[in-house]
Chain A
């Protein structure tokens, strides 16, 4: 049964690989010749292929897959750690491989008679065997002489080429238009601290005001988020919560909540709360708060799942109930890591506190965005330098504290 699964999954993997290589290759060709997003004036011509053409493409992919699997190990076989060997465990001969290749065309029809040992393996007198332990069979061929090595190389190369095209990388403007950003750089190295303590009459906020606001946004979100994530994390730990059907439901719901709310970045949360509670630092800290709960909750839960189960067993055996077990066998084991995660989260929140301002989160970020919109690069420079110094100090301090507790 195990080998059937390996066969099926590695086959699907190979199929995906070659389909991707072929389709990606065509796409690359199209991007280069017919559809050039960086030349919007050119008309886009959609690719066309007759039904027969499509059938041939699919067939071609299948042939390549079967071929690489026979003369492999193919990338799929390699990833699942198997290869073809002769009956006695030796290296397959060429004729055996060809036999295997042709016979495997009939796989779909005849596989089902004996899934443990499909007929095409019996005819060619080959079988799938786990890869040998590294080192037991000498150095082995270099990667560019192996099927899986070449496949992986093609895969990476194609992905890079496609990525280059699709992200519209444009080295000419990167180099040629560099002078346009010059005044920004100039502003940054000639920072203006005019409003360091005195509030800017227009925004009614000094740099320090903004900084303090951001610091407290991050602090509030971290403390409140940790307070909520702490109890939730036990519900999201399989070894604590997932007992019985109700336990499984609670566990799955909690984990689902963590995953969904974590996937939505703080910036989007800030946009949502900016509409909900209005622009300003409150929206920003709510965004950080929600994201902190989900992110820390997940980290905490995983930590709880990795505790030593021994003390849990022992405390349960004394007649303690679940809450007591958590308090006396689990919490002492995870407290240092929980603290470290919280401090780490505080670092992130401080940085995010500036970004959420982009969508109306308030704090020091608001200054950056206001000045940027007014093209006052020297003031932007001042704010950024102040912020960098703060982050640098915080990083240093929190790293020092974390080292001390774990």
Chain B
């Protein structure tokens, strides 16, 4: 059984009547590293957000471990979200809060509302936070305010927050687009390591060279539809121009 199945997914944004996704179907095996590519506006972010239902799909079905997510009540969906980590292009940290507070937020779904409202987390979670920060090499920044960190460090905090959820699926929406090339690779390597530890990863990436380097499989979107689904090697010049348009040139991110 595939880990994630997406069937005929369509999303139309009410505001502006924009069809962001149309009839998208694919499935992902457990432990796969899938990369989404496509021009900006092609629907990558929408697709990722439909999977954990931050965006409500218009039609179509999504299954995770055979459970139909698109049918779940909000409450049941929150339970499922705990197992789906997500990292974002703009990191989406609470800038005024400390690194530790940001990372602990990853455990909110596992703890009672009352105790978390009072700011209390079990000792177990504090220990886990230290572990996760150690994994991304930021243990010494635990009590630093998030806005004091560099972009690459902030994204690693974002990754640590996702790790706190002990995810089985990691969604990464252009995780390195706001970073310079060298930092990009270091962040991508953390994500790659998580994938090696058995977590299924779906990441959207802006540059094809990054996609080739890290993806085991690539799906390309164009105007909300899948125009390519296959191995990185299969994207030749013609396919590239079809995805990115005639004028595009492939650039390397070193």
Q: Are A317 and B116 in contact (CB under 8 A)?
A: no
Q: Which single member of A311, A314, A317, A327 contacts B117 (CB below 8 Å)?
A: A327
Complex CA distance for A335 and B108, rounded to whole angstroms: 20
A319 in complex: contacting residue of B82, B96, B117, CB < 8 Å: B82
CB-nearest residue of chain A to B167: A318
Is B42's CB within 8 Å of the partner chain A?
no
A314-B92 contact given A320-B108, A321-B113, A324-B117, CB 8 Å threshold: yes
Given contacts A311-B93, A324-B116, A319 and B161 within 8 Å (CB-CB)? no
Give complex CA distance A247, B171 in Å. Answer: 29
Contacts of B96 in A (CB 8 A): 332-333, 335-336
In the bound complex, do residue B94 and residue A319 qualify as a contact, i.e. CB atoms below 8 Å apart? Answer: no
Q: Which of A317, A329, A336 contacts B84 (CB 8 A)?
A: A317
Nearest to A330 among chain B residues (CB) is B94
- Is B241 part of the contact surface with A, judged by Cβ < 8 Å? no
Closest B residue, CB atoms, query A312: B92
**Residues of A with C-beta under 8 A to B113:** 321, 323-324
B residues within 8 A CB of A323?
113, 117
Q: Is A168 an interface residue (CB 8 A)?
A: no
On whether A319 and B109 interact (CB within 8 A), knowing A310-B88, A311-B94, the answer reads: yes
A278-326: which residues lie under 8 A (CB-CB) from chain B?
A: 308, 310-311, 313-321, 323-324
Number of residues of chain A lying within 8 A (CB) of chain B: 21
Q: Is the CB of A316 within 8 A of B54?
A: yes
Indicate with 1 or 0, residue by residue over A149-185, a CB within 8 angstroms of chain B CB atoms: 0000000000000000000000000000000000000
Check A314–B88 contact: CB distance below 8 A: yes
A332, B97: Cβ atoms closer than 8 Å: yes
Contacts of A311 in B (CB 8 A): 92-94
**Could you tell me if B158 and A319 are in contact, using CB atoms closer than 8 angstroms?**
no
Are the C-beta atoms of B94 and A313 separated by less than 8 Å? no
By the criterion CB–CB under 8 Å, are B54 and A313 in contact? yes
Beta-carbon contacts under 8 Å, B79-109 to A? 79-82, 84-86, 88, 90-97, 101, 105-109
B117 contacts A315, C-beta separation under 8 Å: no
* Bound Cα distance from A320 to B109, whole angstroms: 5
Complex Cα spacing A2 to B193, Å: 52
Interface residues of B (CB under 8 A from A): 52, 54, 78-82, 84-86, 88, 90-97, 101, 105-110, 113, 116-117, 158, 161-162, 164-165, 171
Cross-chain pairs A/B with CB under 8 angstroms, 24 sampled: A308-B95, A310-B88, A310-B90, A310-B92, A311-B94, A314-B86, A314-B93, A314-B158, A314-B161, A315-B105, A317-B54, A317-B86, A318-B106, A318-B107, A318-B108, A319-B165, A321-B108, A324-B113, A327-B116, A328-B97, A328-B108, A332-B94, A333-B96, A336-B96
Known A-B contacts: A318-B107, A333-B96. Give 4 more (CB < 8 A): A311-B92, A319-B81, A320-B109, A333-B94
Q: Which residues of A contact B (CB under 8 A)?
A: 308, 310-311, 313-321, 323-324, 327-329, 332-333, 335-336
